[in-house]
Amino acid sequence: MKFDRKIAAAGLVAAGIAFGTAASSAQAQDDSYAGGAAVAWLPQEFVLGGANPLGVNFLFPGNPYVPYVNGTPVPLFDAAALAGGNVVPTNMLIVSSAVQNDNGSWSVSLTVQTSDGAPFVNDNTPIIVQTAQGPQTATDFVIDLGNGYELPGFPVDGVDVCSDAGIVSVDVEYWFTRLDGSENREYGDTTGPFLTPNGFVFAWGYDLYADQPDNPDNPKNINRAGFIATFFPVTDNCAPDCVGDLDGNGAVDGADLSLILGAWNTNDADADLDGSGNVDGADLSIVLGAWGDC
């Protein structure tokens, strides 16, 4: 399949950052929230403005997906909403992380797999979804990292990165593993507002191939998938906190000393630098030890 038609982003397609040019540093973080998944009716392919809002059934019966990640299996759809039927939900494990590379770029990754090795979409998965235009037959299986749909109401927490919101060029490596163990790996690049105040967001999907159930790229034949997106942040805000700079002027100086003394013997959280519950000599020592420009 052509992944560039499946990217839920915005902007114009542009050259990204080549893989293999940046060694990973030790500055990495796991994220406690990765996003969601859905079977969705998409009257259009993913376009650079985001998925068509009529096609995403995130607020509709049959698929009120609640995202829990990093070790906790979650259902692709809510079986309780279909009580009385012979419905077996697809349980998935999602892990996301962000690594800052030595050249200042970031590599955000997401891995999603079924908890039992079964396919993402099985014969019991309801593929009739409710949309603003009424019931529609789902056309895609969609994986979302944060609010990659760019739609109000969808969960918005993506992978945290140290940067401001803005337009970035990303180089993306996509992959998925089929039930027979074979792997597909492709590369693409695009430009869009992937960075938000809540972190890096993204979305991609796979055709359901309703008329081709045996297609090896059908999510009925896939049980593991992921991507790695490498990009340079718009503005790097990854500088370490300036401990002792209570007034935020970029230096630990007399003004901060005055604030410590003014909060002496109180539980002022801003001045209680060691978290002891009391502003005392230990906090004063931290200020004196950090004296000077940050």
Per-residue pLDDT at 180: 95
Per-residue pLDDT at 40: 79
Per-residue pLDDT at 205: 86
Domain boundaries along the sequence of the chain: 3-231, 251-293
Per-residue pLDDT at 82: 55
Q: Are 28 and 101 in contact (CB under 8 A)?
A: no
Going residue by residue through the chain (294 aa), what tens digit of pLDDT does each one get?
233 334 433 222 222 223 333 444 435 566 666 677 778 787 776 655 555 655 554 433 333 344 433 445 555 665 555 555 666 677 788 888 888 899 889 999 999 898 889 999 888 787 877 676 777 888 888 888 877 766 555 556 778 887 777 888 999 999 999 999 999 999 998 888 888 777 888 888 899 998 898 999 999 999 999 999 999 988 766 655 678 888 877 789 999 999 999 999 998 888 988 888 899 999 998 899 889 887
Separation CA 85–CA 25 (nearest Å) = 50
Q: Are 102 and 25 in contact (CB under 8 A)?
A: yes
